[in-house]
Structure 1
Amino acid sequence: MRNFKGYCFFIIFTLLLTGCTGVEKENPSSNSKITIEPYNLSEKEKLLISKTGVGQIEFFKLNGTLKEDDDLQFSVEEFENGKFKKELLSSSDEPKTKFKDSLISFGISGFEDEDHPLKLLSRVPSGLDTTKYSNNMTTYSFSKLISKKITLEKNKPAYLVAWLGTTKNGLHSVESINGELPKGLEEAESALLYKVLWTDKVKK
């Protein structure tokens, strides 16, 4: 029951945050530009999130306009010993084309419960995606990969958050400057990376 309440609080909170941001669908200009920058939580927002049961979370602001034939893809990629394994969460065919301070985020809950898998939460402009992730890691780190505004390049992934896990005693955090794939992933037995990709829309 406690986990259910925490999950509900998280949904309500993200809806309140995004409710004040204007997202309109207009005729996009031919010069598309998409930027992402970290969103720093206020102390009140941090307090609210601490009561939702979400262990770690990072927010970002998304701004810009897409052409009608463009798409933004959001995913969480799993790596093992530095090598890509699979996607755990993937959202594409984004219905919106114009973004103004739209909030996106990646969070993890369930660290305190060793008998159950972690819950991954990916907040995208059109909604919230969740999945469960089973692992036996005993040490972990959770870090934001960008510290300033970046401009997306088409067909070039931007990595925003990294969760690293290991069964060993020590673990180094990783970082990147402009959202490139961070170095040092091979030091972690398991890694989850939150990724945004600007690409062409898949034709149906």
Structure 2
Amino acid sequence: MGYIKICWLFIIFTLLLTGCTGVEKEKPSSIGKITIAPYNMSEKESLLISKTGVDEIGFFKFAGDLKGDNDLQFAVELYENGKLKEVLLATSNEPKAKFKDSLISFGISKILDEDHTLKLTAGTPTGLNTAIYPTKMKVTTSSFIKLVGEKVTLEKNKPIYFAAWLGTTKNGLRSVGSEKGELPTGIEDAEIALVYRVLWTDMYKK
């Protein structure tokens, strides 16, 4: 009987230890967790957007919290023939707060002028930023691609790319894409590429 009791005690102890380990794994991160997922507009929402003059736009759900000395940096990266040339609409110092079903957006509107200008619209969880960008070339072919097709978790110091606009003066563009927010291959075939991204990094201290 004593041997059986010892066996049962050992089994119970093992189960308790396993349970504690599981609870430990489920404890929230001390620096927070951010998830990003695609947001599909309803027919009515799409109709409303079509009345705003935005040619192309993508929306994404943003949820989670940010703790400690951490920062979220949003920006539009400009690539020319596949090479990073400039960073536009850069914002940082996002507040330490919980984001629940917040929306992020990236939109492009064409302005008919001699500089073949684009209007960029970048939405963050806390605001909206716009900029005018003259391409100074007549773009004959363009495409707008959403780069997040499923829920992804943001990792520190690893950018997530939401959407991209590609343009060329040629007759065609190579098809590019991504499902988990990677910078898509193939943007080197576009003379111009505008890509919206977020980067989770340490808070800059003066």
TM bracket, shorter-chain basis? 0.7 to 0.9
Output the TM-score relative to the length of structure 1: 0.82
Match for residue 87 of structure 1? 87
Q: Which runs of 4+ in 1 moved over 2 A?
A: none
Name the % identity: 65
1:182 to 173, 181, 184: 184
- The separation in 1 between residues aligned to 2:65 and 2:126, in whole angstroms, is 15
Instruction: Give a deviation string over 1:9-58, Cα, whole Å, max 9, x none.
Output: xxxxxxxxxxxxxxxxxxx9615111000110000000000001011100
Where does 1:14-25 land on structure 2 (aligned, <5 Å)?
Answer: none
Match for residue 55 of structure 2? 55
- The separation in 2 between residues aligned to 1:168 and 1:143, in whole angstroms, is 18
- Residue 152 of structure 1 aligns with an amino acid whose one-letter code is L
Match for residue 97 of structure 2? 97
- Residue 88 of structure 1 aligns with an amino acid whose one-letter code is L
Instruction: Give a deviation string over 1:79-132, Cα, whole Å, max 9, x none.
Output: 011111110110100024211010010001125x24351100001112111101
Is the Cα–Cα contact under 8 Å of residues 82 and 185 in structure 1 kept in the other structure? yes
* Partner SS for 1:146: coil
Output the aligned Cα RMSD: 1.5
Q: How many residues end up aligned between the 2 structures? A: 176
* Partner SS for 1:101: strand
1:155 to 154, 157, 160: 157
Output the TM-score relative to the length of structure 2: 0.81
Match for residue 7 of structure 1? none
- The separation in 1 between residues aligned to 2:117 and 2:156, in whole angstroms, is 34
Match for residue 76 of structure 1? 76
- The separation in 1 between residues aligned to 2:120 and 2:175, in whole angstroms, is 19
- The separation in 1 between residues aligned to 2:158 and 2:47, in whole angstroms, is 35
Q: Does residue 1:168 correspond to 2:180, yes or no? A: no
